[in-house]
Structure 1
């Protein structure tokens, strides 16, 4: 069985109280002559009270008219005026403050005009008390309405803040996944590519030039060792466990020669401007871009020569990697190398352009601003 709402229960309670008061008045006021309005008008007012939550303004008007007609025309002066206070409170509580004020003022004005004649039904003190109850009912309804609106707004803001917090957490998680993906691609992609190139060189020169094969195998050993070290470091960060800090220096513009030597290419390097006081984020991004660009030359250009230019001018680190190779047949791969380089540059407020050169070969040009590093 469905239970009645709190407002319905309150309305029924008020009706019972007023009805009981009316019956007590009838029991003790035997000098009054009853008429049909003593029954009809209370019933109309009771119906308005029952409908006050769904139709607050209409209920207020119905109750006000019924009460206004009850006292001068009905024979019994019951406590029907209490219903007016309830209807005024409900209208103000539901946000219809203007209607409540207008109705209350009209009732008081009508009451004052009605009591201005020779015959008076209430004295001055009673009139002031009734006026005070009218004002109190309207004021209390306005206060409860404002409090409910404040609580709803606070709840909405709390929900919005929770959604914003969740969205921020998802965004940071996505950015962290992207950063880890770039790191793994740059580290593993470069080193495994070098292992592949050196292994091919070792197989090719194993019989004809054993000394070159030995050098290639040593390079494979060192590169695989470095790959495992960096992979363990990355996995340690992901697992959030305490591990020994890496002993090898991080990639940096100060180690351009080491980056070039690790590529296994013949690279003509041109450096200009101060490269030893670069912000850490720009320094690491520049080194990663150089490593990835040289890796792409090794894997896709079809040549073992390249040109690397790094300069620090006009508040920017400019990187240019070019080759004049014919290009090789695509043999599969993720295709995330250029995308990862471009994302690194964009994250620092810079740009990266990569594409074929008109005269042949491939070119990568990156611009990393120094003053916009996060």
Structure 2
């Protein structure tokens, strides 16, 4: 037996005991003799609730008929109306609004049959309340549950969108840097091939190595995303420990890069380490794409409460204000997500400057 059936069965049993024990007391208070037929209708109304969530309309029909017949034959107002209240609530809670309104209205008409028979119009308002109150409660709870479910679905969609953007950003950083380096090396190889084939061969070798490393990093990134779906912890695919390899690849493309470290270099949290590496990688990729003949300087500063990254090139710089393309936007979003600061613009003397500062936990 499932938990829902068990709960409904216990509810029916409790109402049955209340009905059998309380109907006689209600009859004595209202000076009404309770017959065995009245007890029979109390039993039918209570037991019908065992299937209330499986067949809410059928349950309401049975309970409304039993309660109305009970009142028509002169039964006292008593515990049987609790079963009727639960049946109305169930319809309002689990059925669409239009069907619930129709069913509750029909149940009210059935329940009011005893008013017509007894011609006691004063009973009209109390009898209507046994429908209106549980119906309103059921509708309110249903609407609140639906709103909560929609909010949860929206949160799940937002999380999925953020994951897609994160993966797209990782792929952009990996592939963008690799293709930029390959493009530069290919141009060098084409330029040297007619006159200095031995140097062209070195450029082609660098292309092969760069493409292999980019593919390996891309595979690692996608593999980590797949493992995350199975509940494993994601780790960074790159970090400042790989900065020397990045500088070496850049030097092979003809862009000399120097690295300056201020403070004691130490291990960083994975998210901050990856963000710092990506800022350097994307900045150097932009140097390849836009700076022309240039050199670049990377400055890492480690402080007790924060770490900062600065990349300055000596190229010609952008022809206008920063475009805010995917590269700069991605870096800005990474740093902002970690509570840091990011800026990009012309360097004080020449070229372009990218600066990022991230507070440490």
TM-score range relative to shorter protein: 0.5 to 0.7
Q: Equivalent of 1:188, from 170, 175, 189?
A: 175
Say if 2:263 is the partner of 1:276: no
Question: How far off is 1:356 after superposition?
Answer: 1.5
Q: Which residue of 2 aligns with 1:8?
A: 109
Q: Report the Cα distance in structure 1 between the residues aligned to 2:112 and 2:141, rounded to whole angstroms.
A: 29
Gaps of 5+ in 2: 1-101, 230-235
What is the TM-score of this pair, normalised by structure 2?
Answer: 0.62
Question: How far off is 1:6 after superposition?
Answer: 2.8
What is the TM-score of this pair, normalised by structure 1?
Answer: 0.60
Greater helix share, 1 or 2? 2
Q: Deviations over 1:287-318 (max 9, x none)?
A: 11111101111111112311110011251111
Q: Report the Cα distance in structure 2 between the residues aligned to 1:278 and 1:241, rounded to whole angstroms.
A: 22
Q: Report the Cα distance in structure 2 between the residues aligned to 1:153 and 1:234, rounded to whole angstroms.
A: 46
Q: Which residue of 1 aligns with 2:28?
A: none
Matches within 5 A, 1:47-86: 80=119, 82-86=120-124
Q: Which residue of 2 aligns with 1:100?
A: none
Q: Which residue of 1 aligns with 2:44?
A: none
Q: Report the Cα distance in structure 2 between the residues aligned to 1:275 and 1:151, rounded to whole angstroms.
A: 62
Q: 1:328 to 1:364 in 2, by over 3 A?
A: closer
Aligned pair count reads 248
1:270 aligned counterpart, secondary structure: strand
Q: Which residue of 1 aligns with 2:314?
A: 324
Q: Equivalent of 1:213, from 200, 203, 208?
A: 200
Say if 2:187 is the partner of 1:200: yes
Say if 2:359 is the partner of 1:369: yes
Contact 1:266/1:305 (<8 A) preserved? yes
Question: How far off is 1:347 after superposition?
Answer: 1.0
Q: Report the Cα distance in structure 2 between the residues aligned to 1:271 and 1:240, rounded to whole angstroms.
A: 35
Q: Equivalent of 1:290, from 255, 280, 296?
A: 280
For the pair shown, the structure with the greater C-alpha radius of gyration is 1
Q: Report the Cα distance in structure 2 between the residues aligned to 1:162 and 1:275, rounded to whole angstroms.
A: 47
Q: Report the Cα distance in structure 1 between the residues aligned to 2:319 and 2:188, rounded to whole angstroms.
A: 18
Question: How far off is 1:211 after superposition?
Answer: 3.2
Q: Report the Cα distance in structure 2 between the residues aligned to 1:284 and 1:354, rounded to whole angstroms.
A: 19
Q: Report the Cα distance in structure 1 between the residues aligned to 2:219 and 2:270, rounded to whole angstroms.
A: 22
CA RMSD of aligned residues (A): 2.9
Q: Report the Cα distance in structure 1 between the residues aligned to 2:337 and 2:279, rounded to whole angstroms.
A: 13
Q: Which residue of 2 aligns with 1:160?
A: 147
Say if 2:296 is the partner of 1:306: yes
Contact 1:253/1:275 (<8 A) preserved? no
Q: Report the Cα distance in structure 1 between the residues aligned to 2:265 and 2:195, rounded to whole angstroms.
A: 42
Question: How far off is 1:195 after superposition?
Answer: 0.3
Q: Report the Cα distance in structure 1 between the residues aligned to 2:294 and 2:213, rounded to whole angstroms.
A: 22
Q: Deviations over 1:104-139 (max 9, x none)?
A: xxxxxxxxxxxxxxxxxxxxxxxxxxxxxxxxxxxx
1:5 aligned counterpart, secondary structure: helix
Q: Which residue of 1 aligns with 2:215?
A: 228
Q: Which residue of 1 aligns with 2:337?
A: 347
Q: Report the Cα distance in structure 1 between the residues aligned to 2:135 and 2:204, rounded to whole angstroms.
A: 77
Q: Which residue of 2 aligns with 1:338?
A: 328
Question: How far off is 1:167 after superposition?
Answer: 0.8
Q: Report the Cα distance in structure 2 between the residues aligned to 1:318 and 1:337, rounded to whole angstroms.
A: 18
